[in-house]
Amino acid sequence: MNTLQELIQKGKSLLKEFPHPHLETKLLLLKCFDLSEEEFFASKDKSVSRSQERCFNRLISRRLAGVPLPYLTGIKEFWSIPLRVSPGVLIPRPETELLVEKTIELSKGGEEIIVDLGTGCGNIAVSLAQELPKARIFATDTSRKALRLARLNANLQAVSGVTIVRGSLFSPLERLHLRKECDFIVSNPPYVSQAEWEKLSRETRDHEPRGSLVAGETGLEVIEQVIQGALPYLKPGGYLIIEMGYNQRDAVQSIFDACSSWEKVKFFNDLAGVDRAAAARSLVFS
Ligand SMILES: C[S@@+](CC[C@H](N)C(=O)[O-])C[C@H]1O[C@@H](n2cnc3c(N)ncnc32)[C@H](O)[C@@H]1O
C-alpha cells in the first residue's frame, strides 16, 4: 500500500507538464481524501486505502486528458470565495473580479438594485451579495445548469438578497418590472469571436461551454445587445459595468457613442494591463 507522500511524488511526476504540479496534486488528493489541509500535512506518512488511491488515479487520468482542474475538484475560488463549479458552466476567471471591484467602488452601499446578467455559477452575484449586504441582486442566465449552480453557491455562502431568474438578456427584468429601477447592471457576457475560439486552449474548447464564451462572428454581438438594451432598465444615473475582450475597447466605445443617453465611458485594466471592463453611467437628465 502506498503512503500519501508516495502519491504526492507520483502526482507531481505525472503532472510535470502542468504549470503547478505540486498544487494540482495536493488539490486532487484533498478531493479524494476528504481531509483539511492541516490533516493532510499531518498524514503524509499514513497508508492510503485502495479506494482513495483509485479515486486519485482516476482524477489524475482525467487531468492528463485535459479536464480543467476546477471541474475535477468541483471548486474554484473567486473573490476569495470557494465556489462550486461543474462541467457545462464556465469556470470563473480572475479578471472578472474587476467587475466586482468597480461595482463596489461605485456603490453607495444602500438598498440598491443590482442585476448580474449571464451569472454562470453566480460568482459576481454572490461576491456582490457578500460585499453589499443591503443590495437586492437579480442574477439571470439562459442556462438551467448555470442557474442551479448559482442557487447552490448563494445557499452555501448563505447570502441573502439574491434572486435567480432564467431568461435571455433583459426579458427577466421586464417580467420583474425592473424598468428604470436598476442602480447597476453588471455583466460578463460572451464576447469571443468564432475565429478567436479556434485559438483558445484545447482545455477550454474541449471542456467549457462554447455558448458561454462565443458571441458570434465578431465577438461583439452580445455586448452590443447589452449596451443597447440596458438603458430602459437603469435608473437615471445608474451604471452599466461590462467585461470585454482585450481588443474590443474602440468597438465598445463606438457602441456607447451611438446612443446619446450615456455619460463618458471609463475603461479599466485587468492585472495583465489590458482593457478588460467598461463602465458607463446613464444620463441623469436625458
Ligand atoms: C462569459 S459567461 C460569464 C459567467 C459568469 N458571470 C462569470 O463571470 O464567470 C457568460 C454567461 O452568460 C450566459 N448567457 C449567454 N447568452 C445569454 C443571454 N442571451 N442571456 C442571458 N445569459 C446568457 C451564459 O450561459 C454564461 O453563463
| 196 is a domain residue | yes
My answer on whether 57 and 196 are in the same domain is no
Q: Whose CA is nearest to atom 6 of ligand 1?
A: 119
| 92 is a domain residue | yes
pLDDT at 143: 98
Three-class secondary structure of residue 136 per DSSP: strand
| 70 is a domain residue | no
Ligand 1 proximity of 252 Cβ (cutoff 6 Å): no
C-alpha 118 – ligand 1 centre gap (Å): 3
pLDDT at 2: 87
My answer on whether 106 and 27 are in the same domain is no
My answer on whether 261 and 138 are in the same domain is yes
My answer on whether 46 and 122 are in the same domain is no
Q: Whose CA is nearest to atom 15 of ligand 1?
A: 212
| 173 is a domain residue | yes
Ligand 1 proximity of 188 Cβ (cutoff 6 Å): yes
Rounded Cα distance between 137 and 130, Å, is 11
Q: How many domains does the chain have?
A: 2
My answer on whether 36 and 98 are in the same domain is no
My answer on whether 152 and 176 are in the same domain is yes
My answer on whether 189 and 275 are in the same domain is yes
C-alpha 243 – ligand 1 centre gap (Å): 11
My answer on whether 36 and 95 are in the same domain is no
My answer on whether 117 and 242 are in the same domain is yes
Three-class secondary structure of residue 8 per DSSP: helix
My answer on whether 135 and 27 are in the same domain is no
pLDDT at 286: 57
Three-class secondary structure of residue 111 per DSSP: coil
**Residue that is last in its domain, among 15, 45, 65:** 65
The CATH number for 100's domain is: 3.40.50.150
Q: Whose CA is nearest to atom 19 of ligand 1?
A: 168
My answer on whether 105 and 216 are in the same domain is yes
Q: Which domain holds residue 56?
A: 4-65
Q: How far apart are the first and last CA of the chain?
A: 73
pLDDT at 35: 82
My answer on whether 59 and 92 are in the same domain is no
Ligand 1 proximity of 92 Cβ (cutoff 6 Å): yes
Ligand 1 proximity of 153 Cβ (cutoff 6 Å): no
Q: Provide the Cα torsion 210, 258, 117, 268; round to 10°.
A: 90
DSSP structure class, residue 245: -
Q: Which of 119, 191, 193, 212 to mutate to test the pocket of ligand 1 (most atoms within 8 A of CB)?
A: 212
Ligand 1 proximity of 126 Cβ (cutoff 6 Å): no
Rounded Cα distance between 216 and 170, Å, is 19
Ligand 1 proximity of 90 Cβ (cutoff 6 Å): yes
Ligand 1 proximity of 103 Cβ (cutoff 6 Å): no
**Residue that is last in its domain, among 65, 97, 116:** 65
Q: With b meaning 16 or more CB within 10 Å and e meaning fewer, what string describes 184-208?
A: bbbbbbbbbbeebbeeeeebbeebb
Mean pLDDT by runs of 10 across the 286 residues of the chain is 92 96 95 86 88 96 98 97 98 98 97 98 98 98 98 97 97 97 98 97 97 98 97 97 97 95 95 96 83
C-alpha 104 – ligand 1 centre gap (Å): 21
pLDDT at 13: 97
| 25 is a domain residue | yes
Q: State pTM to two decimals.
A: 0.96
**Residue that is last in its domain, among 40, 65, 90:** 65
